[in-house]
A and B are shown apart, each in its own frame.
Chain A
Amino acid sequence: QKEVEQNSGPLSVPEGAIASLNCTYSDRGSQSFFWYRQYSGKSPELIMFIYSNGDKEDGRFTAQLNKASQYVSLLIRDSQPSDSATYLCAALYSGGGADGLTFGKGTHLIIQP
């Protein structure tokens, strides 16, 4: 059974600091990993994806993947109050054309002004 685990939080970070969000996944066959941001009452929106070991940077966001440890993280630099949201980690295992995402429960992030 494919599972993605996240700490539900809330994670409270001061404005301007680095927010660090983590998740682990159970299926070693998972190939790609996605971070979505979801504001209350809204649908998920993609922040970034990663499929190679190491770091991937996009503006203030850095995704990190360690396949040996089955660990994915998202760093948000210079955190802003507008970053306050739930962050969903998702894993994709593509087999036989089926490639729906397996999501974690999400981490609720609060950026304190």
Chain B
Amino acid sequence: EAGVAQSPRYKIIEKRQSVAFWCNPISGHATLYWYQQILGQGPKLLIQFQNNGVVDDSQLPKDRFSAERLKGVDSTLKIQPAKLEDSAVYLCASSPSGVSVDTQYFGPGTRLTVL
């Protein structure tokens, strides 16, 4: 079974530029999550999708971050404009149905550096 795919793996941009990340979850997984992991910290949930609907985006900085999951499969996360403090690894995870004990499987992440 193929895992969660993410691209690009690395991205370096200047502050105030825009950037987008892509995630393809495990086939058949209804729930998709985006997490931000700053160096030395644990992942922080940014947004959760159930199929193509947003379930939780309470920690998403909506003035600069946006995300969508068209057709309930792939998802993109965008930052516009980027700030220095956005430097982090952006992890995408998926789970079969999102029930409380479902395992969340993480992708390899996209490491973003903002200069």
Contact = CB atoms under 8 A, between A and B. Distances in A.
Q: Do A and B originate from a single complex?
A: yes
Most buried by B among A96, A97, A102: A97
Interface string B37-78: 000111111001010000110100000000000000000000
Interface in B84-115: 91, 98-101, 103-109
Range, interface on chain A: 20 to 34
Interface residues of B, number: 26
Given A44-B106, A45-B106, A98 B55 contact: yes
Contacts, number: 60
Contact of A92 (B41, B100, B106): B100
Nearest to A49: B101
Nearest to B56: A98
B106 A43 contact: yes
